[in-house]
Structure 1
């Protein structure tokens, strides 16, 4: 299989390239250390392949990396070695979840489609805690609910600057996660979130019928500035994977646009529906 360039591998490659140039080292020095070709060095620094752990340590030594730079390079290496071909579940503090959180923090735009649950960036603490309790077999039991809430709150602070376009299936709005009071609070929170000009919420009504991703879990696209390639994260119970392949990512972005513009209610009508559902819960 041909090596595929991914954003995470490219970030590592760029970091190593900067260290190499600062140290005044050339392709000849790289070959003398590793016995590998200039082509291999180029593919590594451009994000098509990653060095082995042993090779990374040797390169950092050759480039005179400081302790801080070594830690940064090792963190980037951990990110880059995550499978970026298919299907990272951020329900607990796994290495994959940390990778997702770092990538989300770098994104300038988040586009998400959710069928069964409110997107994490829009969850209230009570709703998030109820989801976590229900999925106890798939989360890290060593992480307390309070710690999980704090981590979620940290992610949600990004809503001040990141553009969020969320498409939510109507079924997720009807499910009484945590009970009626918790769900009403959650619905009102969605309405409030749309007051932020960076946040758009659209609801896929039951009348829309079938759509492409409805048989799977949630799908989130992360878009970056400075020409960095977009990536898609697919969720499933207990796990998930990245989609970094450009053709596959483009398919998900086109699919998102099709749902948002062709099947989902307008943002205004979506907010009206959510308000109506919240009022109905108050009356029960």
Structure 2
């Protein structure tokens, strides 16, 4: 949902009055969260128009509220068009909403499979590294927007416990690229060594010696949820982030991650490699 109502120019909804949908079953937020397994904080953000739900989330809500089947295609179509129209009208706001949506998914996930080719994974970054790295992944961010994202990233880390589990695979290039300068990189590499010792974190590095590999096409994150909730693939881009939810897409990226896992050095070997890079930095 957006703060402004999309106009749907050129669509089959143009000039049409919204269909009268029967009033939803009266449920508390707690009941909806239990019925849909959607985090209550995420429900609050959707209800307050602070975030646009993904299609799978909308379908779960329609099920919970008992919305008749004959209204569902139109509602899902409006959601899709709202995303397309608002992207055309306000790309910077759309990007912010996408980032907020990702954070919501991250909080609900039981496991995070994170492959990064250029940067250290966000949940493993120091504040100084994040401050230097964020402008490299987004266009024309103000100093205030950068600080907001750094603060959000640090808040996400502060809330971490043993759930979700994190399996991170990093290309050696990300370790050797001096983001922010030598001292910031030394601090970041020491942080990675500390994180690699955590029971809920598995960290592997793909060494240069591995040669060409499937991850060279770009970074991605697989968010795994409870068994009855579909996984999501998140791809961060400089202009528009992507959320892939189809079974075929998720399966394809899981296969790529499995290949990267097999190519990467073992966790112990990866720690040794990080230590060598630290000594050279």
- Post-superposition CA distance 1:19-45 (Å, at most 9, x none): 34xxxxxxxxx6xxxxxxx5435xx3x
Match of 2:277 in 1: 277
**Equivalent residue of 1:214, what SS?**
helix
**Structure 1 contact 111–220 (Cα < 8 Å) conserved:** yes
**Structure 1 contact 218–236 (Cα < 8 Å) conserved:** no
Judged with a 3 Å threshold, the aligned counterparts in structure 2 of structure 1 residues 244 and 13 are, in CA distance, closer, same or farther, namely closer
- Post-superposition CA distance 1:202-251 (Å, at most 9, x none): 00011111112303x31100000141111111122233211111111101
**Structure 1 contact 222–230 (Cα < 8 Å) conserved:** yes
Judged with a 3 Å threshold, the aligned counterparts in structure 2 of structure 1 residues 12 and 265 are, in CA distance, closer, same or farther, namely same
- What is the CA-CA distance between 1:8 and the residue it aligns to? 3.0
**Equivalent residue of 2:54, what SS?**
helix
Aligned pairs for 1:1-284 (under 5 A) are: 8-20=54-66, 39-41=69-71, 44=72, 50-51=75-76, 82=83, 94-134=96-136, 138-141=139-142, 143-160=144-161, 161-215=163-217, 217-260=218-261, 262-281=262-281
Gap regions ≥5 residues in structure 2: 1-52, 85-90
- Post-superposition CA distance 1:100-136 (Å, at most 9, x none): 111111111110111111111111100011113445x
**Equivalent residue of 2:178, what SS?**
coil
Distance 1:49 1:124 in 2: 44
Q: Which structure has the bigger radius of gyration?
A: 1
4+ long deviations beyond 6 Å: none
**Equivalent residue of 1:118, what SS?**
coil
How many residues align structurally? Answer: 221
**Equivalent residue of 1:239, what SS?**
coil
* Greater RCO structure (CA 8 Å; 6+ sep): 1
**Structure 2 contact 110–226 (Cα < 8 Å) conserved:** yes
**Equivalent residue of 2:98, what SS?**
helix
- What is the CA-CA distance between 1:194 and the residue it aligns to? 1.5
TM-score (norm 1): 0.69
The two structures, once aligned, show a CA RMSD in angstroms of 2.8
Distance 2:244 2:135 in 1: 28
